[in-house]
Amino acid sequence: MVPQLLIFDCDGVLIDSEIIVNRVHAEVRTELGYPISTEEMLNRFVGLGSQSKELIDDLKQLPKNYRSILKPKLNEALKNELIPIKGIVPILNKIRIKKCIASGSSIEKLNFTLGLTGINKYFEDKIFSSHMVKNPKPAPDLYLYVAKKMGVKPSQCLVVEDSSTGVKGALNAGMKVIGFMAGSHFTPTLKKKLLFSGAHHFAKSAKDLKTYFQESGILN
């Protein structure tokens, strides 16, 4: 059966942002006397939305001015370095079913990063954040909310996720999920987590993803 709705996570799926974001976080934390490597940041925090308890509790241990120091550095790095995931744009051009974004990031951040990369034009107003629901991924709340808003049953949705947290959220919503590993942020630990997440299918590159979409009748 051809899916009726294609749901993309954003960071690490549509845009290659995870490596940039976690590197800048690591640099600022280290400068402030809380040394951590980019790889450790990635392994600990990829897939955790801004509302996750683990991330909120971690930020409480940092200086109160951490965010104010981080934000300009992060925005500058994103402006200079952020690009779409390699090979994803040609795929977006060929999708023939409904599509949208479901992300743990805030709408403000999504508008900023999707605008920088030009990805926003492929989704218009079909961009959803976990800030719109009570519980973030791995709870099913966001995915169920998106399905309802888009007028599609959860069983007719296909999700593309790069984290075990996101995969579990989609599975908890009763949706089919692809684990997508094309982002430059993938450490051996993150690959292992994703491979054991329970996703129905895995794609190591946009080429793999395109092949799966073609076989599923999703592309023109």
pLDDT tens digits, residue range 142-175?
999 999 999 999 999 999 999 999 999 999 999 9
pLDDT at 187 over 90: yes
> What is the overall mean pLDDT for the chain?
95
In a domain, 220, yes or no: no
Which residues form the domain of 128? 5-16+83-215
3-class DSSP state of 4: coil
The pLDDT assigned to 24 comes to 98
The pLDDT assigned to 58 comes to 85
Find where tokens 């976080």 sit: 25
pTM of the prediction? 0.94
Contact yes or no for 22/47 (Cβ under 8 A)? no
In a domain, 201, yes or no: yes
pLDDT at 64 over 80: yes
Bridge partners, 8 (sequence order): 101, 160
Spatial strand order in the sheet of 157-161: 127-129, 98-103, 5-8, 157-161, 176-180, 201-203
Specify whether 91 is located in the same domain as 73: no
Question: Structural domain tally of the chain?
Answer: 2
Tell me how crowded residue 180 is: count the other CB atoms within 10 A of its CB: 32
In a domain, 141, yes or no: yes
pLDDT at 51 over 80: no
Specify whether 121 is located in the same domain as 22: no
Contact yes or no for 19/183 (Cβ under 8 A)? yes
Contact yes or no for 126/147 (Cβ under 8 A)? no
Specify whether 61 is located in the same domain as 129: no
The pLDDT assigned to 52 comes to 74
Query: What span, in angstroms and rounded, lies between the C-alpha atoms of 177 and 155?
Result: 11
The pLDDT assigned to 213 comes to 98
Residue 130 confidence class, pLDDT cut points 50, 70, 90: very high
Specify whether 94 is located in the same domain as 77: no
Q: 75 vs 13, 21, 215, CA distance in Å?
A: 19, 9, 39
* CATH classification at residue 205: 3.40.50.1000
Most distant pair of Cα atoms in the chain: their distance:
54
Q: 82-93: per-residue pLDDT in tens?
A: 999 999 999 999
Tell me how crowded residue 133 is: count the other CB atoms within 10 A of its CB: 19
Specify whether 111 is located in the same domain as 200: yes
